[in-house]
Amino acid sequence: MSVTARAASLFVAFIVVAGVVTFVAMYYIGGASALATVHYAASAGQVNVVLQEDPQNDSASKPDWVSYYVQDPATQKWVHTTLFSVPANTKVNVTLYGYDGCTPLRNNYFSEVQGTIGNTVTLSQFDQHGKEYLTDKTTSVINAWSDCTVGHTFAIPGLNLYVPVASPNAQLSADNLCSSSPCTPGGNPYAKETFSFMSPAHAGVFRWQCLVPCGGGFLDGNSGPMQTLGYMMGEMDVVSS
Amino acid sequence: MAIETHQDRPEPASSEPAGAPPVGGPGGVLRPWHLRPGAHLGVLCAAAGYLLGHLLGNFLSSAYQQNLLSDSNDIPIVLGYTFGTLGWLGGLGVFNDLGRQMLGRPLLAEVRHGGSEAGLSKYFRYTLDHKVVGIQYLYGMIAYFLTGGLFAMAIRSELLSPSYHLLGPSQYLMVVGEHGTMMMMMMSSVILGPFGQYFGPLLIGSKRVAFPRIEALGFWLTPAAYVILLSGVLFGGFPTGWTGYEPLATQATAGEDAYFFAFGLMGLSMILAGFNMIVTVINYRAPGMRWSRLPMFVWSMFTVSFLQVLSVPVLIGACYMGLMDRTFQTAFFSNQLGGSSFLYEDLFWFFGHPEVYILALPGFGVISEVVAVFCRKPLFGYRVAAAGMLGVGILSFFVWQHHLFDSGINPDMRPLFMLTTELISIPTGFIYLVGMGTFWKARIRFTVPMLFALAFYFNFLIGGISGVFLSDVPADTTEHGSFFVMAHFHYTIMGGLIFAFMAGIYYWLPKMTGFKLNERLGKLHFWTMFIFFNTTFLPLFAIGLMGMPRRVFEYARNLETLNDWVSISAFCLGVSILIFVVNFVMSMLFWREPEVDNPWRSRSLEWQLSSPPPPENFRRVPVILSGSYDYGVPDALPVADLNPPAGVIGAAYAGAPAAPPGMPPGMEVSR
Amino acid sequence: MTTTEPAAQPAPAPEPRHGRRLFVLWLVLSLAADLLIWFAWKPHLPPGDMSDAARHQQFDIAVLAISAAPVIVFAILYFVYALVVWRIRPGDDAAGDGEPIYGHTKVQVSWIVGTTVIVMWLFVFGTVELVTPAGAGAGEGPSPIWKLAGTQSATWTPGGKTMLDVQVIGQQWAWTYRYPQFGGMESSELMLPVNTPVTFHVTSLDVIHSFWAYQLGVKADANPQVDNVAYVTAKTLGSVTVRCNELCGIWHGAMFNYGHVVSQSAFQSWASGVQAKEKADGVLADLPPYALTYDPTVIPQMGENLIKIDGITGAAGYYYPPSDPVTP
Do residues C191 and C179 touch, judged by C-beta distance below 8 A? Answer: no
Q: Are strands A121-126 and A132-139 parallel, antiparallel or unpaired?
A: antiparallel
Which percentage of chain B shows pLDDT scores above 70?
92
Orientation angle between helical segments B425-439 and B448-471, nearest 10 degrees = 150
Torsion from C-alpha of A21, A23, A26, A32, nearest 10 degrees: -110
Asked if residue B25 has pLDDT above 60, the reply is no
Sheet of strand A67-71, all strands in order from the earlier edge strand to the far edge: A78-79, A67-71, A46-54, A91-98, A190-198, A121-126, A132-139
Question: H helices within B159-289, ranges in order?
Answer: 169-181, 198-204, 212-234, 248-251, 255-283
Q: What is the mean pLDDT of residues C2-12?
A: 50
CATH code for the domain in which residue B207 is found = 1.20.210.10
Q: Are residues B56 and B193 in the same domain?
A: no
Closest residue to A108, CB basis, from C188, C287, C314: C287
Which chains lie within 8 Å of chain A at 3 or more CB pairs, if any? B, C
Backbone angles phi, psi at C177, to 5 degrees: -130, 135
Chain B contact present for C18, CB below 8 A: yes
Q: What distance in Å separates residue A76's CA from the closest CA in chain B? A: 27
Task: Tell me the chain B residues in contact with residue C126 when contact means C-beta distances shorter than 8 Å.
Answer: 415, 418, 422, 471-475
Can you tell me the distance from the alpha carbon of B75 to that of B63, in angstroms, rounded to the nearest whole number?
Answer: 12
Whole-number pLDDT of residue A119? 92
Domain C164-310, second-level architecture:
Sandwich (2.60)
Q: Are residues B82 and B204 in the same domain?
A: no
Closest residue to A24, CB basis, from B68, B166, B233: B233
Whole-number pLDDT of residue A30? 67
Can you tell me the distance from the alpha carbon of C300 to that of B490, in angstroms, rounded to the nearest whole number?
Answer: 49
Nearest to B585 by CA among A15, A11, A16: A11
Q: What distance in Å separates residue C263's CA from the closest CA in chain B? A: 25
Tell me, yes or no, whether B578 lies in a domain.
Answer: yes
Q: Are residues B345 and B452 in the same domain?
A: yes
Contact between chains at B478 and C217 (C-beta distance less than 8 A): yes
Do residues B144 and B194 touch, judged by C-beta distance below 8 A? Answer: no
Tell me, yes or no, whether B523 lies in a domain.
Answer: yes
Q: What is the mean pLDDT of residues B165-169?
A: 86
Do residues C182 and C283 touch, judged by C-beta distance below 8 A? Answer: no
Whole-number pLDDT of residue C316? 58
Q: What is the pLDDT of residues B626-646, one digit of tens each?
A: 888 888 888 888 888 888 776
Q: What distance in Å separates residue A229's CA from the closest CA in chain B? A: 8
Q: Are residues B150 and B81 in the same domain?
A: no
Q: Are residues B97 and B231 in the same domain?
A: no
Mean pLDDT, all residues of chain B:
89
Sheet of strand A233-239, all strands in order from the earlier edge strand to the far edge: A37-39, A83-87, A233-239, A204-209, A150-156, A161-166
Q: Which of C182, C206, C225, C305 to mutate to test the interface with A (most CBs of A within 10 A)?
A: C206
Tell me, yes or no, whether B22 lies in a domain.
Answer: no
Single-letter amino acid code for the residue at B162: P
Do residues A236 and A156 touch, judged by C-beta distance below 8 A? Answer: yes
Contact residues for A221 (Cβ-Cβ < 8 A; gap 6+): A103, A212, A213, A214, A215, C313, C314, C315, C316, C317, C318, C319
Chain B contact present for A62, CB below 8 A: yes
Q: What is the mean pLDDT of residues A147-156?
A: 89
Q: What distance in Å separates residue C313's CA from the closest CA in chain B? A: 7
Contact between chains at A103 and C315 (C-beta distance less than 8 A): yes
Burial class (CB in 10 A: 0-12, 13-18, 19+), B65: middle
Q: Are strands A78-79 and A67-71 parallel, antiparallel or unpaired?
A: antiparallel
Asked if residue B664 has pLDDT above 70, the reply is no
Can you tell me the distance from the alpha carbon of B303 to that of B423, in angstroms, rounded to the nearest whole number?
Answer: 18
Closest residue to C287, CB basis, from A109, A220, A233: A109
Do residues C252 and B551 touch, judged by C-beta distance below 8 A? Answer: yes
Going from N- to C-terminal start, the domains of chain C cover 6-85+103-132, 164-310
Task: Tell me the chain A residues in contact with residue B251 when contact means C-beta distances shorter than 8 Å.
Answer: 218-220, 222-223
Whole-number pLDDT of residue B436? 93
Task: Tell me the chain A residues in contact with residue C251 when contact means C-beta distances shorter than 8 Å.
Answer: 207, 209, 233
Contact between chains at A7 and B590 (C-beta distance less than 8 A): yes
Whole-number pLDDT of residue A180? 86
- Of residues A32 and B432, the one with the higher pLDDT is B432
Write the ipTM.
Answer: 0.92
Chain B contact present for A10, CB below 8 A: yes
Q: Are residues B68 and B190 in the same domain?
A: no
CA distances to A46, A89, A199 from A202, in Å: 16, 8, 9
A&C contacts, CB < 8 Å: 110
Q: Are residues B159 and B233 in the same domain?
A: yes
Which percentage of chain A shows pLDDT scores above 90?
50
Contact between chains at B473 and C225 (C-beta distance less than 8 A): no
Whole-number pLDDT of residue C212? 95
Burial class (CB in 10 A: 0-12, 13-18, 19+), B389: buried
Tell me, yes or no, whether B542 lies in a domain.
Answer: yes
Q: Are strands A91-98 and A46-54 parallel, antiparallel or unpaired?
A: parallel
Q: What distance in Å separates residue B251's CA from the closest CA in chain A? A: 5
Which chains lie within 8 Å of chain B at 3 or more CB pairs, if any? A, C
Chain C contact present for B334, CB below 8 A: yes
Nearest to B124 by CA among B110, B112, B135: B135
Q: What distance in Å separates residue A136's CA from the closest CA in chain B? A: 34
Work out the number of other CB atoms within 10 angstroms of the CB of residue A44.
7
- Domain range spanning residue B68? 34-109
Domains held by chain B: number: 2
Asked if residue C214 has pLDDT above 90, the reply is yes
Q: What is the pLDDT of residues C113-131, one digit of tens each?
A: 999 999 999 999 999 998 8
Contact between chains at B167 and A29 (C-beta distance less than 8 A): yes
Residue C213's beta-bridge partner residues?
C218, C242
Indicate the pLDDT class of residue B58, thresholds 50, 70 and 90: very high
Tell me, yes or no, whether B64 lies in a domain.
Answer: yes
3-state secondary structure of A206: strand
Q: What is the pLDDT of residues B197-235, one digit of tens each?
A: 999 999 999 999 999 999 999 999 999 999 999 999 999
Contact between chains at B585 and A219 (C-beta distance less than 8 A): no
Tell me, yes or no, whether B8 lies in a domain.
Answer: no
Chain C contact present for B558, CB below 8 A: no
Q: Are residues B184 and B88 in the same domain?
A: no
Q: What is the mean pLDDT of residues B607-631?
A: 88
Single-letter amino acid code for the residue at A79: V
Chain B contact present for A3, CB below 8 A: yes
Q: How many CA atoms lie within 13 A of A108 on its CB side?
A: 30
Q: What is the mean pLDDT of residues B420-430?
A: 94
Q: Are residues B275 and B393 in the same domain?
A: yes
Task: Tell me the chain A residues in contact with residue B239 when contact means C-beta distances shorter than 8 Å.
Answer: 227
List the single residue in B with minimal CA-CA distance to A6. B589
Asked if residue A11 has pLDDT above 60, the reply is yes
Indicate the pLDDT class of residue B490, thresholds 50, 70 and 90: very high
Least confident of A213-217, B275-279, C291-295: A213-217
Nearest to C210 by CA among B341, B299, B147, A19: B341
Single-letter amino acid code for the residue at B377: K
Tell me, yes or no, whether B279 lies in a domain.
Answer: yes
Chain C contact present for B309, CB below 8 A: no
**How far from each other are the two terminal CA atoms of chain C, in whole angstroms?**
82
Q: Are residues B182 and B323 in the same domain?
A: yes
